[in-house]
């Protein structure tokens, strides 16, 4: 019975009456609590609830230190006190609705300033309940990509949304459905981008919106300088995938639950509609995912956006690939120049110098990174190597043509490699010779004989020393001439072998040129088609 009386007293104090009435359930209406709601609206934070409970406790607590009998009956009134505290909290929740005296923005702002006085803590009635924060952004511009520093610079419009549980008002009564407030007036979650690599030089946005339901909309422009693992292996036909991770640095997942406020498809559609930069990079796709990340046994909510960008390759194709292909084609047709009558080496040296100057001028267009070497750099290196190789081959052939008669006989291993295998590979064979080789037998003995006439008219051999001597001398002279001719023919045959080896090398390098150009053109075309089909 005493507990019930104590409970009634507590309710009466709350409503400003001496007895228990039915106006307890009406909240702020025609009572002291009603007048309190008009003066102190939306006092529903834990701090305000505790203050009201403490004030109520000091006013009517039957077992306060001022009552001598309280030492005798603390247990009887404990239950009544707890019930009154519960009623105070329910009453304050009902009084979270801001009641404006008239539809005036100044009155609404004044009441909101009183209600939002405790912006140091999360805007919840109970700190055990999490704050649901939604995040999304719209990509307005792709400002640049630094391949050397591995940095992506973008301009986004970032939005955070959350609710203040103890704030709401009637838009008709207060004259506004939403109001903009200074950022420092409200509690703002510390949602940051993990990949941020520079100081925040974004434009200042000092105001945020608060709606009639207590819903906060924090939108501001952000210049994001983020790290991105750039893979330029297929430059200039490369596609990059960069990430932007949004999470709280200090608030755990149990305090702030971060979720996507807009689907990835809608983000991509809106970004393509408002994208203002038409530069080197093109926006292809945006995907998003929610991640619960564990750091040192604590869990944090994280929202990760994956931005897929494609490089516009037309500039690099026109300025890099096409001129390089032209120069390598000119060097290819230089093999048609006869090395015997034209100074091919001077022509090739001019091409090499021109190609080197071309690479130096276009060096600023080539990416520089510590990752894998781009294929285009390999292409340029092979082109330069082929040009240098063709120049060296021209020097070798020129030397062979000029000094082949002075070279010794071709070694057997060179003859086997070049004249037997590589000659078949490049379809270059030795021409058949019209010369007839006569082998002299120097071991034949010459006998001196002479003939005499017999009585029957038959000739008889007889010796004439003078004639035989002349014939012998003539035979020796013919043998000496033949030996000189054989020596000359042997030297010509050796020179022909060396010249044939030079022609085989020339034909082999020419075929390598053709094969390289065909493979390069097919590879560039295939990569370009795949890049264009994305």
Residues 228 and 338 placed together within one structural domain of the fold? no
Domain final residue pick, 312, 338, 361? 312
Residues 404 and 292 placed together within one structural domain of the fold? no
Mean pLDDT of successive 10-residue stretches along the chain, which has 534 residues: 42 39 35 37 44 49 44 47 50 62 87 85 90 96 90 95 93 91 92 90 90 94 94 88 93 91 95 90 94 86 95 90 91 85 86 93 81 85 90 86 76 86 81 54 51 53 65 74 63 75 86 88 83 71
Residues with Cβ < 8 Å from 259, sequence gap 6 or more? 132, 133, 134, 135, 290, 301, 303
Residues 265 and 325 placed together within one structural domain of the fold? no
Residues 79 and 153 placed together within one structural domain of the fold? no
Residue 372 lies in a domain: yes
Residues 85 and 168 placed together within one structural domain of the fold? no
Total structural domains in the chain? 3
Are 196 and 226 spatial neighbours (Cβ–Cβ below 8 Å)?
yes
Rounded to 5°, angle at Cα 203 from 197 and 208: 110
Q: Given this model, what pLDDT does residue 63 score?
A: 44
Residues with Cβ < 8 Å from 331, sequence gap 6 or more? 348, 351, 386, 387, 390, 513
Residue 228 lies in a domain: yes
Parallel, antiparallel or unpaired: strands 97-98 and 168-169: parallel
Taking residue 166's Cβ as centre, other Cβ atoms within 10 Å add up to 26
CATH number of 248's domain: 2.70.170.10
The C-alpha atoms of residue 323 and residue 376 are separated, in whole angstroms, by 13
Q: Given this model, what pLDDT does residue 10 score?
A: 44
The C-alpha atoms of residue 67 and residue 373 are separated, in whole angstroms, by 87
CB neighbour burial string for 242-262, b if at least 16 within 10 angstroms, e if fewer? bbbbbbbeebebebbbbebbb
Residue of 4, 25, 5 lying closest to 15 (CA atoms): 25
Residue 342 lies in a domain: yes
Name 241's bridge partners.
Answer: 308
Residues 181 and 269 placed together within one structural domain of the fold? yes
Q: How are the residues of the chain apportioned to helix, strand and coil, as percentages rounded to the nearest 5?
A: 50, 20, 30
Residues 350 and 305 placed together within one structural domain of the fold? no
Residues 13 and 134 placed together within one structural domain of the fold? no
Residue 147 lies in a domain: yes
Residues 186 and 269 placed together within one structural domain of the fold? yes
pLDDT tens digits, residue range 24-66? 333 333 333 333 334 344 444 444 444 554 554 444 444 444 4
Residues 219 and 241 placed together within one structural domain of the fold? yes
Residue 122 lies in a domain: no
Residue 117 lies in a domain: no
Domain final residue pick, 312, 340, 355? 312
pLDDT tens digits, residue range 372-417? 788 888 889 989 998 998 899 888 888 887 777 677 788 888 888 8
Q: What is the pTM of this model?
A: 0.67
Domain final residue pick, 76, 95, 114? 95
Indicate the DSSP class of residue 226: E
Residue 461 lies in a domain: no
Residue of 491, 509, 512, 493 lying closest to 396 (CA atoms): 509
Residue 443 lies in a domain: no
Are 517 and 332 spatial neighbours (Cβ–Cβ below 8 Å)?
yes
Q: Given this model, what pLDDT does residue 433 score?
A: 54
Residues 307 and 329 placed together within one structural domain of the fold? no
The C-alpha atoms of residue 298 and residue 193 are separated, in whole angstroms, by 19
Strands (E), 408-454: none
The C-alpha atoms of residue 267 and residue 494 are separated, in whole angstroms, by 78
Residues 419 and 347 placed together within one structural domain of the fold? yes
Q: Which domain holds residue 135?
A: 129-312
Are 116 and 186 spatial neighbours (Cβ–Cβ below 8 Å)?
yes
């Amino acid at each position: 019975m005493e507990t019930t009386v104590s409970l009634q007293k507590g309710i009466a104090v709350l409503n400003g009456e001496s007895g228990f009435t039915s106006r307890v359930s009406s909240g702020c209406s025609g009572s002291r609590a009603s007048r309190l709601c008009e003066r102190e609206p939306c006092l529903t934070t834990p701090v305000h609830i505790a203050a009201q409970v403490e004030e109520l406790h000091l006013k009517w607590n039957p077992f306060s230190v001022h009552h001598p009998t309280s030492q005798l009956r603390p247990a009887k009134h404990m239950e009544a006190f707890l019930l009154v505290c519960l009623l105070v909290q329910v009453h304050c929740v009902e009084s979270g609705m801001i009641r404006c005296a008239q539809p005036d923005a100044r009155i609404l702002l004044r009441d909101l300033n009183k209600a939002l006085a405790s912006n140091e803590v999360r805007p919840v009635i109970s700190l055990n309940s999490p704050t649901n924060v939604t995040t999304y952004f719209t990509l307005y511009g792709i400002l640049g990509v630094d391949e050397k520093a591995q940095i992506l610079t973008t301009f986004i419009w970032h939005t955070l949304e959350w609710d203040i549980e103890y704030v709401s008002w009637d838009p008709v009564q207060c004259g506004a459905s939403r109001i903009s407030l200074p950022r420092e007036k409200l509690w703002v979650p510390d949602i940051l981008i993990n990949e941020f690599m520079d100081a925040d030089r974004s434009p200042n946005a000092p105001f945020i919106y608060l709606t009639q339901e207590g819903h906060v909309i924090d939108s501001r422009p952000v210049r994001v300088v983020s790290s991105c693992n750039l893979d330029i292996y297929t430059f200039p036909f490369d596609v990059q995938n960069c990430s932007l991770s949004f999470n709280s640095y200090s608030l755990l997942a149990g305090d702030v639950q971060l979720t996507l406020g807009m689907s990835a498809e809608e983000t991509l559609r809106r970004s393509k509609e408002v994208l203002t930069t038409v530069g080197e990079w093109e926006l292809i796709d945006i995907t998003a995912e929610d991640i619960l990340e564990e750091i040192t046994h604590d869990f944090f909510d994280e929202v990760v956006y994956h931005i897929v960008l494609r490089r516009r390759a037309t500039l690099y194709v026109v300025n890099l690939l096409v001129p390089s292909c032209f120069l390598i084609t000119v060097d290819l047709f230089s093999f048609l120049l006869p090395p015997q009558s034209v100074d091919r080496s001077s022509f090739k040296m001019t091409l090499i110098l021109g190609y080197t100057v071309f690479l130096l001028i276009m060096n600023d267009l080539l990416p520089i990174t510590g990752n894998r070497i781009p294929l285009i750099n390999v292409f340029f290196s092979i082109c330069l190597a082929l040009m240098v190789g063709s120049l060296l081959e021209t020097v070798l052939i020129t030397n062979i043509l000029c000094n082949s008669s002075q070279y010794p006989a071709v070694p057997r291993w060179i003859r086997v490699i070049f004249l037997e295998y590589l000659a078949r590979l490049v379809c270059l064979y030795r021409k058949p010779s019209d010369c007839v080789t006569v082998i002299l037998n120097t071991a034949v003995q010459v006998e001196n004989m002479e003939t005499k006439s017999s009585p029957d008219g038959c000739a008889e051999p007889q010796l004439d020393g003078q004639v035989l001597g002349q014939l012998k001398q003539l035979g020796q002279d013919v043998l000496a001439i033949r030996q000189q001719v054989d020596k000359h023919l042997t030297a010509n045959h050796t020179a022909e072998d060396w010249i044939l080896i030079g022609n085989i090398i020339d034909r082999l390098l020419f075929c390598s040129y053709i094969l390289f150009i065909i493979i390069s053109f097919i590879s560039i075309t295939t990569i370009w088609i795949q890049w264009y089909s994305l």
